[in-house]
Structure 1
Amino acid sequence: MLDNVHQIIAGVVLLSVVGIAYGGTFLLKVTRGSVPANELQQRFFRAGHAHAGVLVILGLLVLQLTQLNDVAPLWQALSLGVLAAAILMPGGFFLSVAGRDPQRPNRFIALLWTGAGLLVTGLAAAGTGLIAAGTG
């Protein structure tokens, strides 16, 4: 069972899926031509939407695995980087191509790389913590 803090985190994450679903309707509008977007924007919007959905699911799985297997608190805290990546990486994809007909990503692309770093950190922490809990 999740502790109270992790229950709240999981609840907020599940509610964020409403935003991801809305992103799907936006993506449909882009695909149908109702929302103007150049090729770069279309690719980044698709990537942002896909990363959001996958990383939310992965983040919830990591949250469960670390809580249910008595992973040390430090590893659990660091593993929340996966859920942070679920916000930052899609944000980087969407915000870096905002505007009318951008030809390349803007400085918000840094969110993507920050999220990627947190994703790797979170997964490494979860994996290390699970191995340590299993061998301890």
Structure 2
Amino acid sequence: MHSLQLSPQSQVIAGAVLLSIVTIEVGGWFLTRIARGAVPMTRFQKDFARAGHAHAGVLVTLGLVCLVLADATSLDGVLGYAARVGVPLAAILMSAGFFASSMGRGEVTRPNRLFALVWLGALSLAVGVVTLGLGLLTT
């Protein structure tokens, strides 16, 4: 039987990413409070809360897969780092962007300037998956 051996870099990142799942669980619990009407929010805020939660869950899962794939490449240095942290960083930035840009009380119906975090997350996601994809194709 062949055992999976993570690089030290991937092992540390995977440990941190796995621990971050607790925050996604708390977000899920918060969404149940929103759904029950316990937290007053506009439709816009509810939609952004769902988007932030969904992006966190999907991108954290993809980030863990990317760590295993990154260890199958010959990428090192800055490129290896980008392949390993691009997707997990996108999970943080995009989720934070959805949540933070919809904060506020009253009739919040549009994102504030913190929506820029979503675009930074999209850039991090693109850098991570393109670097990793090219690394897999050229190794």
TM-score (norm 2): 0.91
Unpaired runs of 5+ residues, structure 1, are none
Unpaired runs of 5+ residues, structure 2, are none
Question: What is the CA deviation profile of residues 93-114 of structure 1, one whole-angstrom value per residue up to 9, with x for unaligned ones?
Answer: 0000001131210011000000
Inter-partner Cα distance in structure 2 for 1:129 and 1:29: 43
TM-score (norm 1): 0.93
Specify the alignment match of 2:12 in structure 1.
8
Task: Spell out structure 1 runs of 4+ moving beyond 3 A.
Answer: none
Specify the alignment match of 1:54 in structure 2.
58
Inter-partner Cα distance in structure 1 for 2:25 and 2:44: 22
CA RMSD of aligned residues (A): 1.0
Q: Is 1:71 the equivalent of 2:74?
A: yes
Inter-partner Cα distance in structure 2 for 1:96 and 1:15: 25
Inter-partner Cα distance in structure 1 for 2:70 and 2:25: 27
Q: What's the offset of the Cα at 1:76?
A: 2.0
> May I ask how many residue pairs the two structures share in their alignment?
132
1:17-56 correspondence to structure 2 within 5 Å: 17-56=21-60
Whether the aligned pair in 2 keeps the contact of 1:44 and 1:93 (CA below 8 Å) is yes
Q: What's the offset of the Cα at 1:117?
A: 0.7
Question: What is the CA deviation profile of residues 6-40 of structure 1, one whole-angstrom value per residue up to 9, with x for unaligned ones?
Answer: 21111110000000000000011011100111000
Q: Secondary structure at the match of 2:113?
A: coil
